[in-house]
């Protein structure tokens, strides 16, 4: 089955790096995602990584994927107060082609990142 786990809270000082961790259980995941939710808003896609990659970098964001350990992390360099939000990890699991069913995203519980001045 699918189960995505994240720690609930993380606090960092402005300017430091933040590392948000996620573990998942389904080895058939094809894509893994990071979404960001700011207060009062919907979930916004931050970045994603295909399961055959082990690292993806996009400006201040670095995603690391360890398939062996089923561990995904998001590193935010030079964290700013505007980065304070809830970060959701999600995995995309392929459904059987014959069913026509979409891959579903299974979300973690979210990590509340607080950036302290």
Q: Would you tell me which residues interact with another protein (CB under 8 A)?
A: 30-31, 33, 35, 41-45, 48, 88, 92, 94-95, 100-105, 107-110
Which residue is it, tokens 């894509």? 31
In whole angstroms, the minimum distance from the beta carbon of 101 to another protein comes to 5
Please identify, using beta-carbon distances, which residue of 18 and 29 lies nearer to another protein: 29
Q: Are 109 and 21 in contact (CB under 8 A)?
A: no
Please identify, using beta-carbon distances, which residue of 12 and 93 lies nearer to another protein: 93
Please identify, using beta-carbon distances, which residue of 49 and 79 lies nearer to another protein: 49
Q: What whole-number distance in Å separates Cα of residue 5 and Cα of residue 88?
A: 10
In whole angstroms, the minimum distance from the beta carbon of 78 to another protein comes to 26
In whole angstroms, the minimum distance from the beta carbon of 46 to another protein comes to 11
Residue 113's contacts (CB-CB under 8 Å, 6 or more residues apart) are 10, 11, 12, 18, 20, 76, 79, 83, 84, 85, 86, 87
Tallying the residues shown for the chain, one arrives at 117
In whole angstroms, the minimum distance from the beta carbon of 106 to another protein comes to 8
């Amino acid at each position: 089955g699918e189960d995505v786990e994240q720690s609930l809270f993380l606090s960092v000082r402005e300017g430091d790096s933040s590392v948000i961790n996620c573990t998942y259980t389904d080895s058939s995941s094809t894509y893994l995602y990071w979404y960001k939710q700011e207060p009062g808003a919907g979930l916004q896609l931050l970045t994603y990584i295909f399961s055959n990659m082990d690292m993806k970098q996009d400006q201040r964001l670095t995603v690391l994927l360890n398939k062996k350990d089923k561990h995904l992390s998001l590193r935010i360099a030079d964290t700013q107060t505007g980065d304070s939000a809830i970060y959701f990890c999600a995995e995309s699991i392929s459904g059987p082609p014959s069913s026509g069913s979409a891959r579903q995203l299974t979300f973690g519980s979210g990590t509340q990142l607080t950036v302290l001045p």
